[in-house]
Structure 1
Amino acid sequence: MGITYATLKVKESRKSPLEKKVDFMIDSGAVYSLAPGEILDALGIEPYKTVEFALADGTKISRRVGDAYFEYNNEDGSAPVIYGEKGDTVLLGATTLEALGLVLNPFSRTLHPMQMFLAGINSEC
């Protein structure tokens, strides 16, 4: 299994004129995405909470979390983003992939539109 990367535009909101291209390592096992904090600060994205994360070795770290707007190949959406610090790996996580309506094909290591389902629709509405 190889490592997959994608370059996405990151913005504060859909209408924001400021944007930065960020190279992400795709980790569909990660919940949130992580981007360099200095980029998020430069875009005017503000954290709204601090979350404690456990690393693979059991070490616990705290990181700030905010919301960012992501764009990739004409797919876009908002998702939580972790403010990365020096030494952190830039990651594209599951919540961002879902917000963009994308899924990682693990065999071809490419991103594709996900099949969207809507359950519980009552035709009598």
Structure 2
Amino acid sequence: MGLTYIEGIVTGPAGTSRTVNFLVDSGAKYSLLPLADWQAIGLTPRRRMTFILADGTAIARDVSECYLQIAQGEGHTPVILGEPGDEALLARLLLA
């Protein structure tokens, strides 16, 4: 079974948009934007949360909100603000 990617458009608070190619992660509760993408649309951290990865590792990351459009729908959503090396992930809630 292969990996599934989906294209989405993310928009920040000032209306700046960017197209992002997301890896669909059926186990993720939050979507993740890579560093370059969230900085480009002007997001800023709103809170810090701890997340448990599939291998049991705990990581702390900043979280913000953006407007996200995909073929299945659109709306405001919380997003993890990625750090260098992080890949764009699309959470399962956005596909429901």
Relative to total residues, which structure has the larger strand share, 1 or 2?
Answer: 2
Change (3 A) 1:73 1:84: same
Counterpart position of 1:61: 59
Give the TM-score, by structure 1 length.
Answer: 0.68
Q: Return closer, same or farther for 1:5/1:74 CA change in 2, 3 Å cut-off.
A: closer
1:79 to 77, 80, 84: 77
Matched with 1:2 is: 2
Measured in 2, the distance between the counterparts of 1:43 and 1:69 equals 10
Q: Distance in 2 between matches of 1:61 and 1:79?
A: 20
After TM superposition, the score normalised by the length of structure 2 is 0.86
CA 27–86 in structure 1, closer or farther in 2 if over 3 Å, else same: same
Matched, 1:36 2:16: no
Deviating runs (4+, > 4 A) in structure 1?
none
Question: What secondary structure sits across from 1:76 in the alignment?
Answer: strand
Q: Give me the whole-angstrom Cα distance separating, in 2, the residues matched to 1:57 and 1:3.
A: 18
Q: Secondary structure at the match of 1:69?
A: strand
- 3-state secondary structure, aligned to 2:2: coil
Greater Cα radius of gyration, structure 1 or 2: 1
Identity of aligned residues (%): 42
What 5-or-longer segments of structure 2 have no aligned partner?
Answer: none
Residues 73, 57 of structure 1: alpha-carbon distance in 2 compared, 3 angstrom cutoff? closer
Task: Tell me how far apart the structure 1 counterparts of residues 53 and 73 of structure 2 sit (CA, whole Å).
Answer: 30
Matches within 5 A, 1:1-125: 1-13=1-13, 16=15, 18-73=16-71, 75-95=73-93, 97=94, 102-103=95-96
Superposition RMSD on alpha carbons, in Å? 1.9
